[in-house]
Amino acid sequence: MLINQIEDFIRDIQLASIEKSKDKAAEVEQFRIKYLGKKGVISDLFEQFKSVPNEQKKEIGQALNRLKTAAQAKIEEFKQNVENTTQQSSSMDLTMPTDYSEIGSRHVLSVVMNEIIEIFSRIGFTVAESVEIEDDWHLFSALNFPHDHPARDMQDTFFVEKEEGKQEVALRTHTSSVQVRVMENNKPPIRIIAPGRVFRNEAISARAHCIFHQVEALYVDKKVSFADLKQTLLYFAKEMFGEKTQIRLRPSYFPFTEPSAEMDISCNICGGKGCNICKGTGWLEILGCGMVDPNVLESCGIDSKEYSGFALGMGVERMAMLKYQIRDLRLYFENDLRFLRQFDALV
């Protein structure tokens, strides 16, 4: 039936699409020839229309007109589509930067660690590194820790091996163990700085963490004196916290140094007047230090009558806290981008 044929063509036209076509302009032209060309579908149907009985002429004539309009409308739609596509490609800006992809930045602890290393390297200290899993000798015994020292306790130390009759093995609780390894394997003069991770069995809070970082410094030579230590500390404090920084040393105790001291710096927030960071004292506790105990030198095979030395050790998290007023230790390890991005600009 002619009427059915016409309706089928109308449906085909409505469903036609050139979206996926590679050469859209050519496809539109083919479409036009197929339906509206001289020998196309529509002119053929008009030819057949001539022999349609009179009583059907009205219905079929109307259908044919709908078909023709549908074909013309579709071609218009296709042409619009082709135009948009070409406009898009000709207005494409080839010099436009590609999608912005974010690059990472150094962690604030790395920044501070590198700064400490840099300051010491300017006065001749070189970096020494060693293992994170240490034996009792390098961690405690060679450093003159008495057998019942609380640092050897389960509460502080993560033991890896703790068997009767065997040497204990643990995650290092401080970087002072690197001192021992360096002194055992090198002859003075020794001037090293040992940065690294340390581990302690502590409950995690704003002020304590089970993983943190330390930097240890060791200088051993003939006639190294407490005055050398003090001058080195003053140099370090000024480089790290600013030219106006003052230091003070308080007597303290560490098994591996004699005499031992703790160094405070004048509060870099209030300039020493007293504020809530320094708890009103004007001073901030920074690091432990002292003259290497002769027992330690001897344990490492260095003649304590010929040589002397100083050592110091500091916490990197604490340095960063004081420098950038970070209030909570946990922030360092949570990897919250809102925290990390605050230090983007540091190198």
Which residues contribute to the site for ligand DAH (CB under 6 A)? 174, 176, 216, 254, 257, 288-290, 311-313
Q: Read off the tokens for 242.
A: 């600013």
What one-character DSSP code corresponds to residue 187?
A: P
Q: Is 327 left (phi over 0), alpha (psi -120 to 50) or beta?
A: alpha
Look up residue 60 and give its amino acid.
Answer: I
Q: Which residue, chain included where needed, has tokens 């409308």? A: 73
Q: Write the CB contacts of 338 (distance below 8 Å, at least 6 apart in sequence).
A: none
Q: Which is nearer to ligand DAH, 216 or 264 (CB)?
A: 216
In the complex, the smallest distance separating the C-beta of residue 94 from ligand DAH, rounded to whole angstroms, is 59
Least gap, CB of 318 to ligand DAH (angstroms): 11
Q: Given the complex with ligand DAH, which of 41 and 198 has the nearer CB atom? A: 198
- The 8-class DSSP code of residue 302 comes to -
Looking at the Cβ atoms of 78 and 212, the one nearer to ligand DAH is 212
Closest CB to ligand DAH among 64 and 215? 215
State both tokens at 20: 């996926």
259 preceded by a cis bond (ω within 30 of 0): yes
Q: Rounded to the nearest whole angstrom, what is the least distance from the CB of residue 153 to ligand DAH in the complex?
A: 14
- The DSSP code for 104 is -
Residue whose CB is nearest to ligand DAH in the complex, by number: 313
Contact criterion met (CB below 8 Å) for 280 and 288:
no
Reported residue count of the chain is 347
CB of 147 to ligand DAH, least distance (A): 18
Nearest residue (CB) to ligand DAH, 257 versus 308: 257
Q: Which is nearer to ligand DAH, 241 or 254 (CB)?
A: 254
Residue 212 beta carbon to ligand DAH: minimum distance, rounded to whole angstroms: 10
Q: Between 264 and 343, whose beta carbon lies closer to ligand DAH? A: 264
User: Within 10 Å of residue 298's Cβ, how many Cβ atoms?
Assistant: 14
What's the closest the beta carbon of residue 226 comes to ligand DAH, in angstroms?
A: 12
Residue closer to ligand DAH (CB basis): 259 or 271: 259
| Smallest distance, ligand DAH to C-beta of residue 305, A | 21
Nearest CA to 176 among 211, 218, 232? 218
Closest CB to ligand DAH among residues 196, 313: 313
- Least Å distance between CB 99 and ligand DAH? 47
Smallest separation (angstroms) from ligand DAH to the CB of 164: 27
The strand pair at 126-127 and 190-199 is best described as parallel
Ramachandran assignment for 325, one of left (phi > 0), alpha (psi -120 to 50 degrees), beta (any other): left
DSSP label at residue 270: T
What beta strand segments (E) does the chain contain?
A: 126-127, 133-135, 159-161, 169-171, 190-199, 211-221, 247-254, 257-266, 283-292, 308-315
